[in-house]
Amino acid sequence: MNQNELIQTAKALVAPNKGILAADESTGTIEKRFKSIGLSNVEENRRAYRDLLFTTKGFGDFISGVILYDETIKQKSLAGTPFPEVLAKAGSIPGIKVDTGAVALPNSPEEKRTQGLDGLRERLVEYKKLGARFAKWRAVITIGEKLPTRHCVVDNAHQLAIYAALCQEQGIVPIVEPEVLMDWSNSIERCYEVTEETLCEVFTALCDHGVLLEGMLLKPNMVIAGKTCPKQNTAKEVAEWTVKCFNRTVPAAVPGIVFLSGGQTSPQATANLNAMNAMGAHPWQLSFSYGRALQDEALKAWKGDAKNVAAGQKAFITRAKLNGAARNGKYSEAMEKELVGV
């Protein structure tokens, strides 16, 4: 493990004004996205869509890195250049999703455990040769009646730590993603409790496995009320609860926290990130690693039609720019008007 290389890559991924694009949707997940615009889920369309995003003018000004899917990292752009090279030329770092999805947790089928450790060392060697310099592994924590169980939290934390250690062994920065879902009716206080428990367990496991904290990034949920909770919170409240939780659980050695959007709307995810950064300096950089919250407007503008590529790229770079502003606490709702007419 080259510690300096890991540290420099991790810092580059949370550079000022920039964040990460999560373009690692599985074939099944992207089918849901394509259905919303009436587009068939075939490789040609998946490649064309990723090409639209990655070749957007000014891409590297706001996107420090891109999480790719196994299919995508092996594909070439419409111009014939491997996607990792396209990203590198744009000033963005190629990354790769390495987990193989979540399945039912034994003895607790309402919860999930993530798979993908078998053969991971060998796959990481291959991905490094293809150009990947960082990776991502997502664990899912469900809030519900008597959930999560202790078994779920411990099991997923343990696997995240093994994954992270294997990544660093190969000189790849691990993004550790323990996502507490916002799908239930829980309050923001309950989300805080579960997020705190989860992060405590995750960092205990990471330290137990000798993971270099300076050479990793955390990709967590924001502390936020469940989707069906009667009381939804303001951006200021989300920011205060989230920062409070992370100050209690995330070591200052971690260079950055790159939030997932977790089902928030694009404006909501941007506003909540902005509110956190507007609070002032934190021990870590607070940035984004958004999927839908960066792509939704671009997908709707594109509609799967080559004639709309420019419109899709304009929508994408505008949202990326807004998140770049939120990264510095300089976003305002008035800036959303930039998306009007896109």
Residues identified as active-site: 177, 219
Residue that the structure tokens 């963005």 belong to: 92
What radius of gyration do the chain's Cα atoms show? 19
**What is the rounded CA–CA span in Å between residue 52 and residue 55?**
6
Instruction: Locate 95 and state its tokens.
Output: 């990354």
Helical spans, DSSP H, in 56-187: 59-62, 70-73, 83-89, 120-130, 150-169
- What kind and span of H or E run contains 339? none
Please report which residue ranges of the chain form alpha helices under DSSP H.
Answer: 3-13, 27-35, 43-54, 59-62, 70-73, 83-89, 120-130, 150-169, 188-208, 235-249, 266-278, 292-302, 309-326
Q: List C-alpha distances in Å: 314 to 37, 253, 270, 284.
A: 18, 37, 17, 31
Identify which of 216, 96, 193, 98 has the alpha carbon closest to the alpha carbon of residue 141: 193
Token pair for 289: 């690693």
